[in-house]
Amino acid sequence: MFAYGSRLVRHSVDDMPELSNSDGARSAPVDVVLPCLDEAAALPGVLAALPPGYRAIVVDNGSRDGSPQVATRLGARVVHEPRRGYGAAVHTGLSAATTELVCVLDADGSFDPRELPALIAPVAAGRADLAVGRRRPVAAGVWPWHARAGTALVAALLRRHGVPLHDLSPIRAGRREALLALGIRDRAFGYPLELLLRAAASGWRIQEIDVVYAPRAAGTRSKVSGSVRGTLRATRDFAAVLRTVGMPR
Ligand SMILES: Nc1nc2c(ncn2[C@@H]2O[C@H](COP(=O)(O)OP(=O)(O)OP(=O)(O)O)[C@@H](O)[C@H]2O)c(=O)[nH]1
Ligand SMILES: [Mg+2]
């Protein structure tokens, strides 16, 4: 779980949206899509850390640990996506969102929602079409070597094709309608890569911002990067996206 007050990267006041009120809240709300599969133990911390004006949409993906009940009790909007898969959950969340600007982040407590305004800022100011996080692990073991190596490899490929990124948009902010209009088809773990490929092909200005990457919340279970099997599944999804969408020229 992200530690309160332990940010590695500090963002200057200039990075904050011009649209902020004196209390730091954006005047226009931002819907925050939280794909969620069995994250009941993480949700209280994640939801409590949302800045003012940032409204949670918890997309329950068939949890069996009471995640939707926890989210509802804490005042979050809950939508259900019975079809398993990270991409399916994110797509359903974006479709359910109503705000012009939106964020997407994991519901497992590995990201700090208080960093969302720094991602929204360049999009709100018109300096970027998409703002994405670059994970900076806070401790050894947070990001297993096999998952990290796979990400580094694909990111290096992206850079060779002119997309200047070091991570695969694990947390992001953008314009809702534009994101949906990209027509992303992957509904599993290829979704973030397909998003980047389509955004780059459409000439989007993508800004990458350092974000803290903390251990997932205690009491939740790793589903992807925590096992070699999970990484292999993600690799299979990446490969399928590369085959069907291809690298930008
Ligand atoms: N694995 C998985 N995650 C889902 C699914 N639907 C929603 N999610 C959520 O998507 C987010 C990312 O999944 P994680 O399992 O945290 O994936 P990861 O961060 O790459 O890897 P670990 O945290 O190490 O498991 C979490 O908030 C999950 O709860 C699904 O079908 N499978
Ligand atoms: Mg995670």
Tell me the pairing of strands 172-175 and 77-80: unpaired
Burial class of 74 by CB neighbour count within 10 A (0 to 12, 13 to 18, 19+): middle
Q: Which atom of ligand 1 is nearest to the CA of 34?
A: 27
CA pair distance 80, 69, nearest whole angstrom: 12
pLDDT tens string, the chain, 249 residues long: the values are 776 444 444 344 344 444 454 444 557 999 999 999 999 999 999 999 999 999 999 999 999 999 999 999 999 999 999 999 999 999 999 999 999 999 999 999 999 999 999 999 999 999 999 999 999 999 988 998 888 999 999 999 999 988 999 999 999 999 999 999 999 999 999 999 999 999 999 999 999 999 999 999 999 998 877 778 888 888 889 889 988 898 877
Q: Which atom of ligand 1 is nearest to the CA of 234?
A: 20
In angstroms, what is the span from residue 40 Cα to ligand 2's centroid? 14
Domains and CATH numbers, the chain: 13-144+166-183+201-218 (3.90.550.10)
- Atom 12 (ligand 1) nearest CA: 106
The two most distant CA atoms of the chain are separated, in Å, by: 48
Q: Is 238 helix (H, G, I), strand (E, B) or coil?
A: helix
